[in-house]
Chains A and B, each alone.
Chain A
């Protein structure tokens, strides 16, 4: 081998370990799952023994009322929590983006919920939602107000899991928004003050538009996470009452463990994966196109000036 070709290969040599880990840890399970989704497979069989059923699992999904219900619950859940968390998180960041005494302590406190294990969050909220000894109903009772069936009524249970999720994940949006805010070009904000913008106008016309790229990515990350949420809801309601809080990942878990249909569960997972992939790729392509356009025009401008 010549020195030149050895030199060319060096980077790939160094990248190889990471590539192998990635292939084993990421690609293998995904391929395995895609393959499994074409099988009629129950956990007592080895994968080789399962029958090949082609696209039947996918076709059945569309006709499955329970699956459609849980897809709808998931979309509703994701839309509501992500919207609420974005509004609250960005709002808090705008409020706390200033240098006052004790702010760093406050910021740390704000992100605590995110650091608690989801199972613990679920348990904690289950105790708080408890119909008789939970803090919410006790407080309502003490104030002489009617108590609320937090987890035993379908609509309330849906609201309850939303509240818990907002509590846990607003900090995520808060810290990313705060970081985005603090890295904004200060002089542009100062220029807007000189141009006569009020505080609100600065937020509306300068800060938010400039934060948009970060906010879009943050929103996407949260959306992906919200579509996959499991533990907190598992502990809080286990999908009930009825199917009122049965989000997709819970449905997938039950299909695999309770109904023992690994092929169907794999098909559901793939469906979710494709849904999120389409979202991500569309976003990526949009960003890439915008960047390339800007770079091209700038290059032209530098040449002619």
Chain B
């Protein structure tokens, strides 16, 4: 792994496997009575979240604490950014404090790539615009393989608002890198304008895809998409692309239902579907901590012996 984690493409198939393999260790650590190891003692991580995020930030925060890293939060809402400080000045200020890693989320695609040019710290992309959310993809891969074994040869349907989804972009790259077949399912208006070069199939017919799917990965459907005339109504969206109990009935017995959260029960997923055993959203969140521990360790813990046993 290099010094940064910005996209699944940059991480590559070998990098993904390295993270997933190490994540098992941290699942084990997380299950201990005192789930903490000193692997990153003395390292400082800064959270730079320009966009609200509760779950991703808490997950990173938990991962860092379990590795004994120090963390600081650059709270964008109440800081110099509100006073008009530029992104570059903010990054250089944080870097000057001697942080080892900046974990950034930003509403604009590409911001982590710019930040990387302005700091010596490691940069982790915790979500940039519509573009990438690599740790989400890694925890999704981990969760699927935990339940179903290797992704190689599996069929994953990613359903819904692909166009505006950084989760979808990262997951297409990650699932296919590990050998899965991916079908994007949604109305044309919610697909990216061009899928040239995307290693996946496209369908507008969820019912036709469900029977052969090993995983149905649902994306969050946002209300504002209706204002942009991308779908006529939430009702019509649910009719075409919502995961109903009826559609669950067409799934193979082993097939999983996934969602990156937060869910809109009753829109992209029927309330009762979200509570099924095959709906693994809680596993995703739980694994997210272990996977992020693995990422932090690989980026920042080089040279530090990982105390796997007896800590």
Q: Do A and B bind each other?
A: no
Binding site for A on B (CB under 8 A): none
Binding site for B on A (CB under 8 A): none
